[in-house]
Every structure is written in structure tokens, then in C-alpha cells.
Chains A and B, each alone.
Chain A
Amino acid sequence: EAGVAQSPRYKIIEKRQSVAFWCNPISGHATLYWYQQILGQGPKLLIQFQNNGVVDDSQLPKDRFSAERLKGVDSTLKIQPAKLEDSAVYLCASSMGQTSLSGANVLTFGAGSRLTVL
């Protein structure tokens, strides 16, 4: 089966500019996640969608980050305006389930989008 697709793979922007990342999850996966991974750290959840609804966005800096999953399939993460500390890899992942109540929730990740803010 096709994996999780992400684009672009690399992006370099100046601070205060905007950037958008795109993710297409595995077909049939209801849940989609966006993680931020800063060099040397583990992935940090930014937002979790169940179909096209938001399940958890408690760690999303809403003053500058936004995400949408309009048709319950692919998703876009936007940063506007970008700050130096936003330099990171943005990982998209998908899974069939939402919570461990319905069985183990195994995530499949894309290759990530590496953002450098100068």
C-alpha cells in the first residue's frame, strides 16, 4: 500500500514569512496527526484529526499555526508568520483508530518536511 505522502521535503524561509505543508495519509486511515520534531528531540504532537474534526490541538501555537483537513483525507499545516524557533521537521502520521480504547493505535509516518527559518 502507498505510504503517507508529505511535501515539500525541504523548505527554507526568512522569519516572518509563511509556509504550508501538505500531507496525504494512508487510504482509509481516519486519524491524522501533525508532529513537530526539533533536532535531538522526540516528536511533539501539534494537532490530531479524526476524519475532518480536531481531537487535540492543545499544543498548537494557534497565534501562528493553523491546520485543516477539509474533506477528511489530506491535510495542510500552515505557519504564519514563522519564527526562528519553528525550524524543525514537521511529521505527518496517520492511523486507523483514534484511541487505545478501540485497540492499539499504530502510527504510520511520512518522511517529514524539514523547515529552516533564517
Chain B
Amino acid sequence: SQKIEQNSEALNIQEGKTATLTCNYTNYSPAYLQWYRQDPGRGPVFLLLIRENEKEKRKERLKVTFDTTLKQSLFHITASQPADSATYLCALDGTTSGTYKYIFGTGTRLKVLA
């Protein structure tokens, strides 16, 4: 069955550094890979998406890479700020075993220390 893995351990980094989060998947053919941010007590909020034929996408301080050979996406937040502290979820939008599925990873909790 399809599987999405994100680093389940929290990531603590110092303010101003670059945070890098990883999303790995198996048994899936995503047309798009998406990243969401979730704050405590709130629903996820869409941040950025990348298509299967794109290698890299940027939006302000955010950068996403997508390697369909490695079946991996990396999500970078440059010049991180304490306000970036949240849980980040990756989501796959595509097919598995010929069936369309939209599935989320487990999320990685990021804490940016002032």
C-alpha cells in the first residue's frame, strides 16, 4: 500500500538558520506534491505545490524540491523565524495502483528558537 514518511521527531533550529524537512513516499505516482502548515488547534493551510515534472519551486522564504526517482521531496525555510514554528505536512495528489488518492504524511513539528 502507499506510504508517506516524514521525520516524526521534532526539528529544533536556531532563528535565522535554514530548516529542511523531508518527505519520502512509496507505491505512489504523484502528479503533484504539496506542503501544508498546521498550527495547534487549526486545520492545515496550503503553502506550496510542485508538479511531478518540476525539480524546484520557490515562494518567498520557502523552497521545495521534488525528486521522483528518489521518491522524495525536501522543504526548506530560509532565514527561519519563531513564527515559522508549526507542524508541516506533505501531501500527495495522484494515483496509487490506478486509483486516485490524496493522502497526507504524518507531519514534522518545527520549532524555531529565538
A-side residues, CB < 8 A to B, are 4, 33, 35, 40-45, 48, 55-56, 91, 93, 98-101, 104-112
Which residues of chain B are near A4, meaning CB under 8 Å? 43
Q: Are A109 and B34 in contact (CB under 8 A)?
A: no
Q: How many contacts between A and B, using CB within 8 angstroms?
A: 64
Q: Are B106 and A107 in contact (CB under 8 A)?
A: no
Which residues of chain B are near A108, meaning CB under 8 Å? 46
Which residues of chain A are near B44, meaning CB under 8 Å? 43, 91, 107, 109
Which residues of chain B are near A35, meaning CB under 8 Å? 104
B89's partner among A42, A93, A100, A112 (CB-CB below 8 A) is A42
Q: How far is the CB of B10 from chain A (nearest CB, A)?
A: 11
The 10 closest A-B CB pairs, nearest first, are A109-B43, A100-B31, A42-B104, A42-B106, A99-B100, A100-B93, A43-B104, A104-B32, A105-B93, A106-B46
- 9 cross-chain CB contacts under 8 A: A33-B102, A41-B107, A48-B102, A98-B100, A104-B49, A106-B34, A107-B102, A108-B46, A109-B43
B-side residues, CB < 8 A to A, are 4, 6, 30-32, 34, 41-46, 49, 51, 89, 91, 93-94, 100-107
In angstroms, Cα B100 to Cα A101, docked, is 9
Q: Are A111 and B43 in contact (CB under 8 A)?
A: yes
Which residues of chain A are near B100, meaning CB under 8 Å? 55-56, 98-101
In angstroms, Cα B49 to Cα A73, docked, is 27
Q: Are B42 and A41 in contact (CB under 8 A)?
A: no
Which residues of chain B are near A106, meaning CB under 8 Å? 34, 46, 49
Q: Are B46 and A107 in contact (CB under 8 A)?
A: yes
Which residues of chain A are near B89, meaning CB under 8 Å? 42-43
Q: Are A104 and B93 in contact (CB under 8 A)?
A: yes
Which residues of chain B are near A110, meaning CB under 8 Å? 43
Q: Are B106 and A41 in contact (CB under 8 A)?
A: yes
| Smallest CB gap from B109: residue in A | A40
In angstroms, Cα B41 to Cα A30, docked, is 26
Which residues of chain A are near B34, meaning CB under 8 Å? 104, 106
Which residues of chain A are near B91, meaning CB under 8 Å? 107
Q: How far is the CB of B36 from chain A (nearest CB, A)?
A: 8
In angstroms, Cα B105 to Cα A35, docked, is 13
